[in-house]
Amino acid sequence: MKITEKIRTARELYLNRNAELRSDPLISSQLCELSARTEASRRASLESGVAEACRRCDEIEGGSCCGAGIEERYTTELLLINLILGAELPEARYSVEGCYFLHSRGCILFARDILCINYLCSRLQRELRHGDILSLQDATGKEMEAVFVLHNSIRNFLKK
Ligand code: SF4
Ligand code: SF4
């Protein structure tokens, strides 16, 4: 399925089932957990210097790794999670070479695919301090786990 079709399906599910999903105790607590872990990951990225290095790479050095095609990894359920968390999914691609979810301010998603959460280019792996890499991996590991369990819960809920 193309990304635009997945977005359309996710929007329909959001319109029809958002209230039901949010009132489910398990999904509601997993949504809170994912938000907290995503925030912890974002802090670790700022504190380790990764956020700043990636900003410079993207804006000054022209080396962003958010290329066109990565959006194909995104499932309808993961897009639905983003809508529930308040993300505004784009109507069109911002840049021909960029991922569908890359905008001028960076990635517009709140819940990301494992590849997007986990990726560190070889330059950053060389340049970051070992302790910072470990802290970052700890935070991103918890974020990926939260995405995985919520994704499964939503998939099972929608099958009911
Ligand atoms: S991970 Fe590496 S290549 Fe990707 S944006 Fe950051 S610095 Fe650039
Ligand atoms: S981080 Fe966001 S913009 Fe970058 S590849 Fe992943 S989904 Fe696309």
Q: List, for residues 24-83, the tens digit of each pLDDT value.
A: 999 999 999 999 999 999 999 999 999 999 989 988 887 789 999 999 999 999 999 999
Please report the atom of ligand 2 found closest to the CA of residue 67: 5
**Which atom of ligand 1 has the smallest separation from the CA of 54?**
6
Q: Is 21 exposed, middle or buried (0-12, 13-18, 19+ CB in 10 A)?
A: buried
Residues enclosing ligand 2, CB less than 6 A?
A: 66, 70-71, 99, 101-102, 107, 109, 112, 116
Average pLDDT score, the chain = 96
pLDDT of residue 58: 86
pTM as predicted: 0.94
Give residue 59's pLDDT.
Answer: 85
Q: Quote the CA–CA distance of 43 and 53 in Å, as a whole number.
A: 14
Q: Whose CA is nearest to atom 7 of ligand 1?
A: 54
pLDDT of residue 137: 97
Choosing from 55, 58, 128 the residue with most ligand 1 atoms within 8 A of its CB, the one to mutate for a pocket test is 58
Rounded-to-integer distance, Cα 30 and Cα 143, Å:
11
- Of 86, 138, 103, 97, nearest to 117 by C-alpha is 138
Ligand nearest to the CA of 72: 2
Count other C-beta atoms under 10 Å from residue 115's C-beta: 11
Residue 119 pLDDT > 90: yes
pLDDT at 61: 86
What are the sequence ranges of the domains in the chain?
3-153
pLDDT of residue 64: 81
pLDDT at 104 over 90: no
Above 90 in pLDDT, residue 85? yes
pLDDT of 145 over the 90 cut: yes
CA of 160 to the centre of ligand 2 (A): 31
Output the ligand 1 site: residues, CB below 6 A: 53-54, 57-58, 63-65, 120-121, 123-124
Report percent pLDDT > 90 for the chain. 92
Q: Which atom of ligand 2 is nearest to the CA of 103?
A: 3
The Å distance, Cα 31 to ligand 1 centre, comes to 28
Residue 31 CB neighbour total at 10 angstroms:
21
